[in-house]
Amino acid sequence: MSQAAGTLKHYFVTSEQQFDAAKMGMWLFLVTEILLFSGMFVAYAVYRAWHPEVFAHASELLDWRLGGLNTLVLLASSFTVALSIHFVQKGQNRKVVVLLLITLLCVAIFMVIKYFEYTGKFAHGIFPGAGYAPHGEAYAEYDIPFAPQFFSIYFIMTGIHGVHVLVGMGLFVWLVTRVVRGHFSSAWYTPVELTGLYWHLVDIIWIFLFPLLYLI
């Protein structure tokens, strides 16, 4: 790809080499993220194999409608991110700003839904680890053997995923400010494309988390 003037670092020979290096670096980072979540998926699989009935019952205590809504929200955000990359390649930065703002709105909706999910569980004493102490009207439903393991896995996996969502939100805010200032064009848009790669991985991870935690 071509490179805007002043964006080629002195330690690269060509803009193509710089872009390839940046993309390779992002892919290596994404591989480490996949390894991180793979470990958690393995832990989920082991505990579920040990206690399938408990995990099936505990998943029914999560609101699949909220999880499904969050899935649709993230899929919509992936679509708008993909469109933003398409339009930045064409130099249509005004559309890029609009699409990134829509993406930010989707991300905000996702986090608000997770907030209500988490606070709903906390209100009943459902915390990860040793803090698990169900009480109130839902006591009988939550006070079952090995349920703490399920909810610990739930909070850890969705919590770490939520941290990645917040990082993505910060990146999108940063991109919007840079697009508005005219830092990107059809000649150079590497940060937009790399952020898009990161965000697609965040979405893909949720696509696995949703059925595993909410549906089965």
The burial of 146, by beta-carbon neighbours within 10 Å (0-12 exposed, 13-18 middle, 19 or more buried), is given as middle
Which pLDDT score is estimated for 13? 54
Which pLDDT score is estimated for 76? 97
What are the DSSP calls for 13-36, one per residue?
SSHHHHHHHHHHHHHHHHHHHHHH
Which pLDDT score is estimated for 26? 86
Q: Which two tokens stand for residue 124?
A: 């009943």
Which pLDDT score is estimated for 142? 85
Which pLDDT score is estimated for 7? 65
Look up residue 69 and give its amino acid: L
Contact assessment for residue 70 and residue 110, using Cβ atoms and an 8 Å cutoff: yes
Which pLDDT score is estimated for 2? 42
Which pLDDT score is estimated for 15? 63
Q: How far is CA 125 from CA 128, 134, 162, in A?
A: 10, 4, 21
pLDDT in tens, the chain (216 residues): 444 444 655 555 566 766 677 788 888 999 999 999 999 999 999 999 999 999 999 999 999 999 999 999 999 999 999 999 999 999 999 999 999 999 999 999 999 999 999 999 999 899 998 889 898 877 778 888 889 999 999 999 999 999 999 999 999 999 999 999 999 888 888 899 999 999 999 999 999 999 999 998
Long-range contacts of 120-129 (CB under 8 A, 24+ apart): 120/63, 121/151, 126/151, 127/151, 127/155, 128/152, 128/154, 128/155, 128/156
Residue boundaries of the structural domains of the chain: 12-215
- Return the CATH number of the domain spanning residue range 12-215: 1.20.120.80
Tell me the C-alpha distance between 189 and 105, whole Å: 22
pTM exceeds 0.75, yes or no: yes
Residues 6+ apart with CB under 8 A from 189: 85, 88, 89
| Residue 77: HSE in the Cβ half-sphere, 13 Å Cα cutoff | 31
Tell me the C-alpha distance between 177 and 186, whole Å: 17
Q: How many CB atoms lie within 10 A of CB 215?
A: 12
Which pLDDT score is estimated for 129? 86
Which pLDDT score is estimated for 156? 95
